[in-house]
Amino acid sequence: MMNVISHRWGGWLAALFVATIATRAVGGQEAGDPALKLESRADAELRHHAALIFGGATRFDEEAEDETGAAFGIDYEYRLDELWGIGAMGEAVVSDHARDGVVMVQLALHPYRGFRVAAGPGVEFAHEEAEFAVRVGASYEFEFGRFTVAPELAIDVATPSQTLIYGVSVGTRF
């Protein structure tokens, strides 16, 4: 089951990343495009973003039965410029779900308006064991002044399992 999911999601995520880069490269955006610039000195000072994440997680495991549980977490990002950000996130699953939590660092790409693609390594904690994991995800931030709301979709790949994470984040820039 994991190989099928790995190939299916890996292909889609790779296509999403390539489409993101292509949007930036051939989308006609120029250096002066206001959609890509921090629009004022006040916006330039709002480089920090913190969000609470609420949703679900479905774990696909070769060695056990697939499981689904409620997920919640926190995400922090520092915008380096209009295009790139770095950050960290932590997430927990509340249920009998085998995946108890994850901590990750991430590199984020912001190719167009509120669209965000993030990826990074981390550690997944399940049943008193820690495993190396990689997360790749995408979201679209709707801004309301300094506040944001974003649907989120990500996949964590760890041996011998993969976890699909879906939900909504509510955040603020500061």
On the question of pLDDT at 104 being above 80, the answer is yes
Return the HEC string of 134-170: EEEEEEECEEECCEEEEEEEEEEEECCEEEEEEEEEE
- The answer as to whether 145 is a domain residue is yes
Q: Convert the pLDDT of each residue in 111-156 to its tens digit.
A: 999 999 999 999 998 777 888 999 999 999 999 999 999 999 999 9
Query: How many other CB atoms are found less than 10 A from the CB of residue 97?
Result: 19
- The answer as to whether 144 is a domain residue is yes
- The answer as to whether 68 is a domain residue is yes
pLDDT at residue 27, rounded to an integer: 47
Q: How confident is residue 103, by pLDDT bands cut at 50, 70 and 90?
A: very high
- The answer as to whether 33 is a domain residue is no
Structural domain including 118 reads 2-27+42-173
- The answer as to whether 131 is a domain residue is yes
pLDDT at residue 33, rounded to an integer: 44
Domain count of the chain? 1
Place of tokens 């309301």: 144
Q: How confident is residue 102, by pLDDT bands cut at 50, 70 and 90?
A: very high
Which residues lie below 8 Å from residue 25, measured CB to CB, with a gap of 6+?
Answer: none
CATH number at residue 140: 2.40.160.20
- The answer as to whether 156 is a domain residue is yes
